[in-house]
């Protein structure tokens, strides 16, 4: 069954907009875990626009205490790699960053980036950290992640999310499915994330049995505004298991 890791960057972003400590990412993490989330994700960006280092430290401790996974995301800049090696999250997801981007919008270019990534992968694994690489849904290229020594890939699912319910939807779903199969054939575990929601997650989970984990933040937190955080997490846990659940209608 596909596990749900809740990305709490939007909680941190809302807190930062007021300059105090409410809402608190740690309290949100506790609520998500209580509602059934298998893990918590934070993407620690260099500009600290949302998650901060103290959030990472506190939530790493919480996840260890509660027996759930912690997934640290970010680009392989030295200070983030050093933090990962110090704190030893369950998973370190390496994501390429373009200066000025609003959010992550592409995967690694392999084999071009392999020389950069391989030493970081090796160093993290030496500390017992599972490493995933953020990759586009390209069935003929995802296997290249294995050449870096990575344990998993995270398939970038924005194109699938954007195409869902349109004439392109089936094609984009097939790209994710075929990428997952190719990755699994290369010995890689498969995660996915970006623009997944209560409508498009269940068919993805059913079509891609190789899927081990989905990391979801924006849509889940948006739905929580209407449903409450506890109910939103419960629905996403069910959706990750392939169960069709009631979605939140938005305009």
Domains plus CATH for the chain? 3-240 (3.20.20.70)
Model pLDDT, residue 151: 98
Q: What percent of the chain has pLDDT over 90?
A: 89
E strand residue ranges, the chain: 3-7, 39-43, 69-74, 91-94, 130-136, 152-156, 189-193, 211-216
Residue 32 has φ and ψ, to the nearest 5°, of -65, -45
Model pLDDT, residue 118: 97
Model pLDDT, residue 249: 62
Tens digits of per-residue pLDDT, 172-206?
Answer: 999 999 999 999 999 999 999 999 999 999 999 99
Tens digits of per-residue pLDDT, 76-109?
Answer: 999 999 999 999 999 999 999 877 666 676 789 9
Catalytic residue among 43, 69, 172, 213: 43
Estimate to the nearest angstrom the gap between the alpha carbon of 78 and the chain centroid. Answer: 21
218 as an active site residue: the answer is: no
Identify the H or E element spanning 125: helix 114-126
Q: Is the pLDDT of residue 250 over 70?
A: no
Q: Is the pLDDT of residue 34 over 90?
A: yes
Q: Is the pLDDT of residue 251 over 60?
A: no
Model pLDDT, residue 97: 86
Which of 112 and 104 is assigned the larger pLDDT?
A: 112
Model pLDDT, residue 105: 63
Model pLDDT, residue 215: 97
Mean pLDDT of the chain, nearest integer: 95
Catalytic residue among 69, 154, 172, 194: 194
Measured CA to CA, the distance from residue 33 to residue 13 in angstroms comes to 20
Model pLDDT, residue 106: 79
0.85 exceeded by pTM: yes
Q: What percent of the chain has pLDDT over 70?
A: 96
Which of 103 and 123 is assigned the larger pLDDT?
A: 123
Catalytic residue among 73, 172, 210, 213: 73
Model pLDDT, residue 101: 61
Q: Determine the angle formed by the axes of helices 229-240 and 25-34, rounding to 10 degrees.
A: 50
Identify the H or E element spanning 3: strand 3-7
């Amino acid at each position: 069954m596909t596990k749900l890791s809740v990305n709490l960057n939007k909680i941190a972003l809302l807190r930062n907009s007021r300059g105090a400590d409410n809402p608190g990412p740690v309290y949100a993490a506790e609520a998500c875990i209580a509602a059934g989330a298998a893990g918590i994700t934070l993407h620690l960006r260099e500009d600290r626009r949302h998650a901060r280092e103290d959030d990472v430290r506190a939530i790493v401790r919480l996840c260890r205490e509660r027996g759930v996974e912690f997934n640290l995301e970010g680009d392989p800049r030295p200070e983030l790699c050093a933090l990962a090696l110090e704190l030893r999250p369950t998973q370190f997801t390496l994501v390429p960053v373009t200066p000025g981007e609003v959010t992550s919008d592409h995967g690694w270019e392999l084999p071009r980036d392999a020389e950069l990534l391989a030493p970081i992968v090796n160093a993290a694994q030496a500390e017992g950290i599972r490493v995933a690489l953020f990759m586009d849904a390209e069935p003929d290229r995802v296997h290249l992640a294995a050449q870096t020594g990575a344990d998993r890939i995270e398939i970038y699912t924005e194109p699938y999310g954007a195409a869902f319910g349109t004439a392109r939807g089936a094609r984009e779903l097939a790209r994710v499915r075929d990428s997952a199969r190719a990755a699994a054939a290369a010995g890689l575990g498969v995660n996915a994330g970006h623009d997944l929601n209560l409508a498009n997650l269940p068919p993805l989970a059913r079509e891609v049995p190789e899927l081990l984990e989905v990391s979801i933040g924006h849509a889940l937190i948006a739905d929580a505004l209407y449903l409450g955080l506890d109910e939103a997490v419960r629905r996403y846990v069910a959706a990750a298991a392939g169960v069709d659940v009631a979605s939140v209608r938005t305009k």
